Chain A
Amino acid sequence: MKRWTLRSVTNEARLLLIGIPLLIWTLIPIYHLFLFAISTKDSATSGNLWPKHPTMQNFVFVLWEKHFYLNHFWLQMGNSMIIAVTVAVLTLFVSTCAAFAISRLKVRGGRTVMNLALFTYFIPAAFLAVPMYKAMGNYGLLNNQWALILAMVTIASPYCIWVLKQASDKLPYELDEAARMDGATPLQLFRLVYLPLMVPSLVAVGTYSLLLAWNEYLYAFLLLSNDRSVTLSVALGNFLSADDSPWELLMATGFIYALPPAAIYYTFKRYMVSGLTAGAVKS
């Protein structure tokens, strides 16, 4: 049993003193979002801590597409999903191959590629939006979902390569040598030894790129313009184009929009554990 000494109590108190305000700070906006979503239009901005007449009507409006702004809700939700999943899959493929080549196969110029990739982060992504728009225009991909997918893969990859490269470096190199002596080709080494051991990092990186694409607004807004091809984040932005925005619907949609990332995070959280390599080599 834990013994409560003065020191441990003060330590705990200090942590709580920092932790509780942080928690409140984080939760208040979400609480407001939820509050708006269950309020009627009239009472939405009343400033009460709990609405007098909480209602689920807003959710019904959203889910049954009963508003002008929500005509393509399910289609746009689908777009968001397809784009996010495709970005995650492509980013994983690109960055895993790159990290394997740089870290394990030690290809010539690997470090340069890493540094160049990281260099792209010196320029804020927002500044690259217009050049990216121009590039996609040249490829004839404007208003095509591939434009957004490719743009997001470009933005997500450098960080993912970097993270995976660091994780790969921690795998014992003797495993590669043992596999080579056992007769593994580089591809077999990748598939049978490297990938299984990288699962925690792959899940982390995959989740990161998926959420990055899911939450993207600027690029989606620029590269897609058709109501039927935009993502839900762009559609949410469109709510604000009216003088009298339906705040309660915007918040209800936003609330629903926030659910998949939360679900994804909690589903994959348990895979993001380290320690899978325990027992490989004597540490």
Chain B
Amino acid sequence: MASVSFQNIEKSFAKTKIIHGISFDIADGEFVVLVGPSGCGKSTLLRMLAGLEEISGGQIAIDGKVVNDLDSKDRDIAMVFQSYALYPHMTVRENMAFSLRLRKADQALTNERVNKAAQILNLDALLERTPRELSGGQRQRVAMGRAIVRDPKVFLFDEPLSNLDAKLRVAMRAEIKALHQRLKTTTVYVTHDQIEAMTMADRIVVMHDGIVEQIGTPLDLFDHPGNLFVAQFIGSPSMNVVQGKLRVADGQAWVEAEGARWPLALSPASLGAATDGRKVHYGIRPTDMALSPDGSGIEARVIVVEPTGAETELLLEVGGSKLVLVMHGRTNARPDDTVHLALDVPKAHLFDAADGKRIN
């Protein structure tokens, strides 16, 4: 187990800079998820930590020791690849024992470690099979077993679930989380799937275009996104955003957008420099809206109704903006009906239109 520290990390391929000075720390035993859209540099950052990619600038330290110039094998980390990367000519047992074999570990110790890992991952019955005889989920578990056997300081996961079908992904998600709770090894996990990030992470690092947009616990990011990108990236369905102008008058603040008045639960004082007439984005999560029973609130037109059983998802139109509303239970609303929206005002978010930063 170990802490990991990124100090001003930069990465360039030829003349293209893809990571622009990233700094953050990971505590001992923490499960940190790097999340962001594809091409944001999250995998590259992980590969730099793994020693598979050269570091163009800055320092990476594991347990306080700078590892920039250390070979992968000397960093004492193990990685699970998106494509599993199992050795096809070896059995599951040989795959898992490979790193110990290279280290010339004692045979008894190797067997003990492999058997223990196999037991944890439910692979006991598969030890003598080759990877081609396994299903996707089993291969994924072998890849994890290979990492566990080494008992490394840090586990790295590079989108390990993206090749699995939806049902298996949910099951494996829980397995990885349970594994972390059991082993308590520091883990860095890369994914583009914000649900994976939300469900698994102790802390999430949201990346975009080679910079860190925000770092925080899942609920922190959900409740207080620092900017428009994080607001729309975290949460599913993603946050509704309308563009408009901030209005401050008579001790009240609201946003004027799409011909409607979007209320804010802020006193003008708390808005700071945000002044009347400023261009802003008003954000509200699909779950923070409801259909108003008394016909008050913002008027909207129903476009699509999607019942999912316990919940119903409504696609609505207000002016030219499309909004999603998720409600518990069912509704009688039909497409083309006119409904009224009651907003959970304290949970509304306000972002500056110019730089996307959070205002409230």
Contacts and interface: CB of A to CB of B under 8 A. Distances in A.
B83 A282 contact: yes
Contacts of B52: 177, 180-181
B86 A279 contact: yes
B73 A182 contact: yes
B139 A279 contact: yes
Interface string B269-293: 0000000000000000000000000
A10 B289 CA distance: 68
Nearest to A184: B102
Interface residues of A, number: 23
A11 B306 CA distance: 52
A114 interface: no
A277 B88 contact: yes
Given A181-B73, A181-B79, A184-B102, A281 B84 contact: yes
Given A278-B88, A279-B134, A182 B83 contact: no
Contacts of A274: none
A40 B40 CA distance: 81
Nearest to B74: A183
Interface in A175-222: 175, 177-184, 188, 192-193, 196-197
Interface string A271-283: 0000011111110
B229 interface: no
B222 interface: no
A94 to B, nearest CB: 24
A174 interface: yes
How many chain B residues sit at the interface, stated as a range, is 20 to 34
A180 B150 CA distance: 13
Contacts of B136: 282
Contacts of B72: 177, 180-181
* Centre residue among A175, A178, A180 by max chain B CB count within 10 A: A178
Contacts of B103: 183
Interface in A157-186: 172, 174-175, 177-184
A188 B71 CA distance: 15
Looking at chain A's contact residues, the main secondary structure is: helix
B132 A196 contact: no
Contact of B133 (A180, A196, A279, A280): A279
B89 A196 contact: yes
Interface in B124-138: 130-134, 136
A37 B198 CA distance: 81
Given A180-B73, A183-B99, A282 B84 contact: yes
Given A278-B132, A279-B130, A279-B132, A177 B81 contact: yes
A178 B87 CA distance: 9
Interface of A: 172, 174-175, 177-184, 188, 192-193, 196-197, 276-282
Interface of B: 50-52, 71-73, 77-79, 81-89, 98-99, 102-103, 130-134, 136, 139, 146, 150, 163
Given A181-B77, A184-B73, 16 more contacts: A172-B85, A174-B81, A177-B72, A178-B86, A179-B87, A180-B51, A183-B73, A192-B98, A196-B89, A276-B88, A277-B88, A278-B88, A279-B131, A279-B139, A281-B86, A282-B136
